[in-house]
Amino acid sequence: MSKTTIAAVVHDRGAPFSLEEVQLDDPRPNEVVVRMVATGLCHTDLSVRSGVIPFPVPAVLGHEGAGIVEEVGSAVTRVKPGDHVLASFTSCGTCDHCIAGHTAYCHDFLPMNLIGGQRTDGSFTISQGGTPLNAHFFGQSSLARHALMDERSLVKVSPDAPLKMLAPLGCGIQTGTGAVLNVLKPEPGSTVVVFGAGGVGLSAVMGAALSAVSRIVVVDLVASRLQLARELGATDTIDASSTDVLEALQELSGGKGVPYTIECTGILDVVKQAVMALGPMGTCALIGAPPAFAPCEFPVTFMLDGRTITGITEGDSTTETFIPALVKLYEMGKLPLEKLIRHYPFEQIEQAAADAHAGLTIKPVLVYD
Residues 227-236 pLDDT 10s: 999 999 999 9
Backbone φ, ψ for residue 267 (5° rounding):
-85, 125
User: What pLDDT does 307 receive?
Assistant: 97
What is residue 290's predicted lDDT score, i.e. its pLDDT? 82
Point out which residues pair with 46 in neighbouring strands.
none
**Which residue range is the domain that position 32 belongs to?**
3-170+336-367
On whether both 286 and 359 belong to a single domain, the answer is no
Same domain, 299 and 350: no
Nearest CA among 202, 207, 263, 248 for reference residue 228 = 202
Q: Is residue 180 domain-shared with residue 119, that is, in the same domain?
A: no
pTM: 0.94
Q: Is there a single domain that holds both residue 13 and residue 141?
A: yes
Q: Give the gyration radius of the chain's Cα atoms.
A: 20
Q: pLDDT at position 318, please?
A: 94
CA nearest 126: which of 149, 109, 108? 149
Instruction: Classify residue 329: in a domain, yes or no.
Output: no
List the one residue out of 285, 226, 208, 217 whose CA is nearest residue 251. 217
Beta bridge partners of 127: 23, 132
The CATH number of whichever domain residue 156 belongs to comes to 3.90.180.10
- Mark the ranges of the chain whose per-residue pLDDT is less than 50: none
Nearest Cα residue to 154 out of 230, 227, 91: 91
Q: Are 125 and 212 within one domain?
A: no
**Angle at the Cα of 173 (from 360 to 342), degrees rounded to 5?**
30
Confidence at residue 51, expressed as pLDDT on a 0 to 100 scale: 81
Closest CA to 361 of 225, 263, 239: 225
* Residues 278, 297 within the same domain: yes
Whether residues 163 and 191 fall in one domain: no
Total structural domains in the chain? 2
Q: How many Å apart are CA 77 and CA 275, to the nearest integer?
A: 44
Q: List 114's β-bridge partners, or say none.
A: none
Would residue 321 count as lying in a domain?
no
Q: Residue 354 in contact with residue 41, Cβ under 8 Å?
A: no
Query: Residue 116: what pLDDT?
Result: 86
Q: What is the pLDDT of residue 1?
A: 52
Q: Are residues 79 and 220 in the same domain?
A: no
- Whether 87 and 189 map to the same domain: the answer is no
- Whether 300 is in a domain gets the answer yes
